[in-house]
């Protein structure tokens, strides 16, 4: 009975690991591909914002929330980012209008000039690839029976 409960618990943990890190890996893969972080697959066009607002982040004084809009054809696209205020001012500035670069195929994939997070997207993709690979490795290569018996002795020795 105890052995079956531990196996079920271990399987739930493995499935949760696949779901959690798999979804994060898919999101980071999306960002790496559609923002041209590794390969130049998509054309990015330049446009000027139609509206931009800067607001202090409610929790921390060092952060700023940037909400901007731009038009492509008849569609209006909105985006909001939270950034370190000092870094944002140094790299981009807080002008009334900003240049936006958008993916010509998917305009909702966009970034402000000088605020493309290429390195961040690459690092998150690498980190989540490592974690997902570790989960797959542990799921396929580790002797689960040995670990279950080891923890069964310590957990249920009472």
**Tell me, what's the pLDDT at 68?**
94
DSSP string, 7-74: HHHHHHHHHHHHHHHHHHHHHHHHHHHHTTSSS--S-EEEEE-SEEEEEE-SS-TTEEEEEEEEEETT
**Tell me, what's the pLDDT at 44?**
94
- Residues in the chain where the model's pLDDT stays below 70: 1-2, 57-60, 155-158
- Tell me the CATH number at 111: 2.40.50
Domain hosting 57: range is 42-115
| Tens-place pLDDT, residues 125-145 | 999 899 889 888 888 888 877
Whether residues 100 and 46 share a domain: the answer is yes
Could you tell me which of 124, 74, 69 has the C-alpha nearest to residue 102? 69
Give this prediction's pTM.
0.75
Whether residues 85 and 133 share a domain: the answer is no
Whether residues 62 and 100 share a domain: the answer is yes
**Tell me, what's the pLDDT at 10?**
82
**Tell me, what's the pLDDT at 46?**
94
Whether residues 95 and 56 share a domain: the answer is yes
Whether residues 31 and 46 share a domain: the answer is no
Whether residues 135 and 84 share a domain: the answer is no
* Number of domains present in the structure of the chain: 2
Whether residues 110 and 62 share a domain: the answer is yes
Whether residues 96 and 124 share a domain: the answer is no
Whether residues 12 and 47 share a domain: the answer is no
Whether residues 123 and 71 share a domain: the answer is no
Whether residues 25 and 78 share a domain: the answer is no
Whether residues 11 and 72 share a domain: the answer is no
């Amino acid at each position: 009975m105890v052995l079956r409960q531990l196996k079920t618990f271990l399987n739930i943990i493995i499935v949760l690991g696949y779901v959690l890190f798999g979804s994060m890996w898919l999101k980071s893969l999306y960002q790496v591909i559609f923002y041209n972080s590794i390969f130049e697959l998509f054309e990015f066009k330049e446009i000027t914002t139609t509206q931009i607002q800067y607001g202090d982040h409610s929790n921390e004084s060092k952060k700023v929330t940037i909400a901007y809009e731009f038009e492509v054809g008849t569609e209006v696209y909105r985006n909001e980012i939270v950034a370190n205020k000092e870094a944002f001012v140094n790299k981009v500035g807080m002008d009334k209008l900003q240049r936006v670069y958008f993916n010509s195929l998917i305009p909702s994939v966009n970034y402000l000039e000088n605020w493309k997070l290429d390195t961040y997207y690459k690092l998150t993709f690498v980190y989540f690839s490592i974690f997902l690979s570790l989960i797959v490795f542990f799921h396929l290569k580790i002797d689960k029976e040995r670990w279950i018996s080891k923890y069964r002795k310590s957990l249920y020795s009472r």
